[in-house]
Amino acid sequence: MAASIEDVVADVGYVEDPKTYALCETTIDYDDTESEMASKYVAGATILNFLWQAYEAAVAGTVLLELPKLLKEGRLGERGRRLFETRPEVSTRFSGLGKIIWLAFFQCEHGGLFKARLARLRERFNDRNL
Q: What is the residue-level pLDDT of the chain in tens, covering all 130 positions?
A: 666 777 777 777 666 666 666 667 777 777 778 888 888 888 888 888 888 888 888 888 888 888 888 888 888 888 888 887 788 777 777 777 777 777 877 877 887 778 888 888 778 777 655 5
Are 61 and 9 part of one and the same domain? yes
Return the closest-CA partner of residue 39 out of 13, 3, 4: 13
Domain count, the chain: 2
- How far from 22 is each of 18, 25, 27, 32, 52, CA to CA, in Å? 9, 9, 9, 14, 42
CA neighbor of 48 nearest in space, from 98, 104, 90: 104
Q: Which domain holds residue 103?
A: 95-130
Question: 124 and 60, same structural domain?
Answer: no
**Cut 0.85: pTM above it:** no
